[in-house]
Structure 1
């Protein structure tokens, strides 16, 4: 038997997460990206060994996408966009998150909620990365090359495709926010 729950975050609840991501953003300026990504990756490894509710486990899978996006030299997110993703990852690497991770059953609930919020705000970055990755994989297959070799040997066309994906990401964001039905709260976006 499954049970469906709906969580509504009040303005005060949302402020708690916004304050947490604001603190995490400060780490982006003082801690190197490798340390932030490493700590987020460590969290993923810890959660892989834990028995988690599906709600949490399903959202933690998206954390890997954010990590990969930051590490992918071929995609090379622009600095401002990369800093937004790193701020999200810094939250997940912090020991001072809203709920301590060692609390049985609920310890990763705040992480799952924050991932959900980050996925909404980083939607266009993630879509652009998925587009780029699929294009790169398809192109490597078409050319009969390894995916890693393709990135290193085809820098010029990979850069053109990356720029196209980034421009599409920014265009989608502008179009989505032009309607005014929802605006970002965690990050300053262009």
Structure 2
């Protein structure tokens, strides 16, 4: 199991006080079963109602909280990047990441999944768990895509083009990234040596 296992309480055979609520929402067994089918597709171990409910209290321990927890906000930012990536005609995700990314995107479109999106504070808890479960499969691809967007903006600006109409493929990004890396290496090498001759040499440049 991935990082979710480190955050959510492990399964235990003895739990006299089981929890079934995320905020004011009672988790439905059928919804938990469907959610675990998705986690299985993402190669993540299943969770039961008590684990999910207990984790929700870890994410937002204050009963009177009104703000969305930072953990959820972080994962929703990542989720937005996933949806941008899948909807960008200039980017072709690697096959190993495309499937898990689509699973995430499809789940995000279901506003009444395990936890209804309209639930205050914790409405995106289940979406965030899905993003974290998928991240080992899609994280590197999403970061590459965000770098692609950065270089596309830069290349379009250098050419005086509108980014929205600028044709820039994954191959173009890879070429631009290699050129940028070569420039960085060159600048680092320049920083470790001097263009001026060493002391005792023929002397400084002269302008006649």
TM value normalised by structure 1 = 0.53
- Structure number with the bigger relative contact order (C-alpha 8 A, sep ≥ 6) is 1
Stretch deviating more after TM superposition (54-63 or 64-73): 54-63
Question: 2 CA distance for matches of 1:51 and 1:108?
Answer: 12
Moved more, 127-136 or 92-101: 92-101
Quick one: distance in 1 between partners of 2:160 and 2:128?
A: 39
The change in CA–CA distance for 1:126 and 1:23 in structure 2 (over 3 A counts) is closer
Q: After superposition, give the CA deviation of every residue in 1:15-38 in whole Å (9 maximum; x if it has no partner).
A: 9855225679xxxxxxxxxxxxxx
Map 1:56-71 onto structure 2 (within 5 A).
56-71=72-87
Corresponding residue pairs, total: 128
State the Cα deviation string for residues 92-145 of structure 1 (Å, max 9, x = none). Answer: 122553323344433321222222222332112112212221221111112221
Q: Does 1:76 align with 2:104?
A: no
Q: What is the distance in 2 between the residues matched to 1:159 and 1:108?
A: 32
Greater fraction of residues in helix:
1
For structure 2, the 5+ residue unaligned runs are 1-5, 13-32, 43-65, 177-208
Task: Flag structure 1 segments of 5+ consecutive residues without an equivalent.
Answer: 1-5, 25-49, 166-190
User: For the residues of structure 1 that align with 2:132 and 2:102, how far apart are their CA atoms?
Assistant: 16
Query: Which structure has the bigger radius of gyration?
Result: 2
Instruction: Find the counterpart in structure 1 of residue 22 from structure 2.
Output: none
Q: Distance in 1 between matches of 2:38 and 2:11?
A: 14
